[in-house]
Amino acid sequence: MQTGGHVLVTTTLRPGAPAPLVRRTPLSLADGKALAQCSDEESEEAPPEALARVQQMIFADLGQPSDHGSKVLVVPDAVTWCMPWNELAPTGVKEISLTVSIAAAMRIPPPSPVEVPRVIGVFDEVDLRGSRKEVQTLQELAASGKIHFTRVYSLIELREALESSPYDVLTVSVHGTTGDGIEYRMLLPDGPSSPAGLLQLQLPPTVVLGCCWSGKSSEQPDTTAAAVSCLVAGASRVVGGLWAIDDELAGDLLACMYVRHFVSGMPLAQALRSAHLALGPEMRPGAAGLIVIGRS
């Protein structure tokens, strides 16, 4: 999907279709306004008619759920990357995820299924009540035998743990700063860390970055977002934040996602979307900034 020259270009490829459908939509003033209202953090205040207009422009050729198996992979450009995808996805879509390109998605190996997932995490429970909610849920899942759960409190401890034992999921629930590339920082308990800190780790297949702006698109062509950095470093899929998200709301959403993923066995992107749709209508716009990037 690309924007430019007052035109929105969408290419839709459905399973079994002989060729993709390419649609060029000239953007009226109303279309441009709706796209602006559905971008970044401003989308939390987008009126229903703007969401409906943008949904129709993007997913006009998607067809019925039987045409796509209720699973949608979106390849946005830099302009449309930060949109509330779980709010825009049509009814009947059970999971939606983002990727930087189809080739990149095909190169990423899918995570291997495991009987009892091994989860490791670093959390900021002092400042973030949502982080405390995540810890509580993961501890309860560990107590019930659904996961093995390990907590660490610094980047050094995290590196040592990942080097000494294999893990299936890494979750980082801390503050994130604005900016991308070398400017972005995750405020770990032992001090700020850039995405370069993650690139040096032996990352597990699944990474959950419950940090503001961790999944945003790169502002410059020679930089990369934190979530995409994790994919480069070996992860298969990353949950990232496209903009600043309320920490309590993020904690509620991710805790619900963990239960659906680890207990009900839902694929990660389906678990996140199901958790999103389970929120109250007034809460969903604020939670739509969290999305799965990479293999679902």
Tens of pLDDT, residue by residue over 146-165, are: 999 999 998 889 999 999 99
Tens of pLDDT, residue by residue over 191-246, are: 666 666 777 889 999 999 886 656 666 554 444 567 788 888 889 999 988 888 88
Task: Round to whole Å and give the CA distance between 241 and 171.
Answer: 13
How does residue 106 score in pLDDT terms, banded at 50, 70 and 90?
confident
CB count, 10 Å around CB of 250?
A: 25
| 117 close to 169: Cβ distance less than 8 angstroms | yes
User: What pLDDT is recorded for position 223?
Assistant: 44
User: What pLDDT is recorded for position 200?
Assistant: 81
Q: Is the pLDDT of residue 166 over 60?
A: yes
Cα–Cα–Cα angle for 86, 237, 169, rounded to 5 degrees: 110
- In order, the DSSP letters of the chain are -EEETTEEEEEE--TT-SS-EEEEEE--HHHHHHHHHTSGGGGGG--HHHHHHHHHHHHTT---HHHHTTEEEE---TTTSSS-HHHHSPTT--EEEE-S-HHHHHHSPPPPP-SS-EEEEEE-TTT-HHHHHHHHHHHHHHHTTS-EEEEE-SHHHHHHHHHHS--SEEEEESEE-S--GGG--EEETTEEE-HHHHHTS---SEEEE-STTTTPPPSSTT---HHHHHHHTT-SEEEEESS---HHHHHHHHHHHHHHHHTS---HHHHHHHHHHHS-TTTHHHHTTEEEEE--
| 92 close to 98: Cβ distance less than 8 angstroms | no
Tens of pLDDT, residue by residue over 62-100, are: 887 666 568 999 999 888 999 999 999 998 999 999 998
How does residue 116 score in pLDDT terms, banded at 50, 70 and 90?
very high
**What percent of the chain is predicted at pLDDT more than 90?**
59
Task: Tell which wins on pLDDT, 220 or 179.
Answer: 179
Domains of the chain: 118-294 (3.40.50.1460)
User: What pLDDT is recorded for position 102?
Assistant: 87
Q: What do you get for the CA distance between the two ends of the chain, in Å?
A: 19
Tens of pLDDT, residue by residue over 257-271, are: 999 999 999 999 999
Candidate from 104-108, 169-173, 218-222, 241-245 with smallest mean pLDDT:
218-222
User: What pLDDT is recorded for position 154?
Assistant: 87
User: What pLDDT is recorded for position 16?
Assistant: 82
